[in-house]
Copies of this chain bind each other. A is one copy, B any other.
Amino acid sequence: MKPVSEKPEFSLQTLAIRGVGLIGGSIAKAARKAGIAQEIVGIGRDEARLQKAVEHQVIDRFETDSKTAASQADLIVVCTPVDCIAKDIVQLHGSLRPEALITDAGSVKEQIVREVCEKLGAKHRYLGSHPLAGSEKTGFEHSDADLFQNAAVVLTPEEQSSKNDLNFLEAFWKALGGKVSIMSPAEHDRALAATSHLPHLIAAALASSVSEDQLPLAATGFGDTTRIASGDPHLWTSIFCQNPNGTLAAAKEFQQQLNAFLEAVEAKDTDKINALLLTAKKRRDLWLNERENS
């Protein structure tokens, strides 16, 4: 991962968003606020929902015919669930103008890139993005123009990706407030397994390991530690199935840490327990400091 230097101003004619939900809607609002697109077009199948998004001034207009929409766009951001992204990219790609680009907002990358390359060959016009922002809430009604302010955004170029496309996409996400870094798809999936996918699995396992009759004795500590277990099961099932190796590798690292704690507790080794807790506290405090000072 390498930090990216400041970029100059950025604008484009037509920004198209496939999947106008929380993330897609927030991208639309952030782009409007930043004044970087002449028009913002929603692409989807549900005409009634898309019409509502127009009425809410999230998008300027919509297209339910993806060929028409793709042929007009300068940049398409695919914001559908991770198990639909590759299919949606391939479908839109057929009608894309040669200079236009497709990106996405999915939480996993390797499998999407693999499927895209299988279907479109190496010379495709897709370059992956992952903005690390979201919410328990869904739907464009909860979208937020400031969702990407100071949010990490990872771009995942492949070997054959062009520097021009990478610069273009960097400038796009920076205009939306994001802090861009660049990693390979594989590197991204390993890191996100540790920082996002495994925490979700652990929160879920922890929530399930407390019995119903013990719940009245669970306070805010339990509530915080398990909050993300309330997320959408379908969405997270797709994420785990797209990143099983990364998740299992991160779980191995976690289990080693947990075993060290449990051995120290079994031995009532106060010095060891204290040292382990202190290391954990320092790591957590470092995360908070970096976040607050960013």
Question: How many A residues are at the interface, by size bracket?
Answer: 35 or more
Interface of A is mostly: helix
Check: A57 CB closer than 8 A to any chain B CB: no
Contact: A284 with B192, CB < 8 Å? no
One digit per residue, 1 when the CB lies within 8 angstroms of any chain B CB and 0 when it does not, for chain A 254-265 equals: 111110111001
Given contacts A229-B281, A237-B270, A241-B273, contact A196 B222 (CB under 8 A): yes
Contact: A276 with B204, CB < 8 Å? yes
Check: A8 CB closer than 8 A to any chain B CB: no
Contact: A199 with B225, CB < 8 Å? yes
Contact: A274 with B204, CB < 8 Å? no
Chain B, Cβ-Cβ closest to A231: B281
Contact: B283 with A208, CB < 8 Å? yes
- Please, how many angstroms separate the alpha-carbon atoms of A119 and B257 in the complex? 38
Check: A121 CB closer than 8 A to any chain B CB: no
Contact: A290 with B216, CB < 8 Å? yes
Chain B, Cβ-Cβ closest to A133: B219
Contact: B204 with A199, CB < 8 Å? no
> A203-B225, A204-B277 provided; 13 other pairs, C-beta below 8 A?
A152-B216, A179-B216, A191-B217, A198-B209, A202-B202, A204-B281, A208-B279, A225-B226, A226-B287, A230-B284, A230-B288, A237-B277, A248-B265
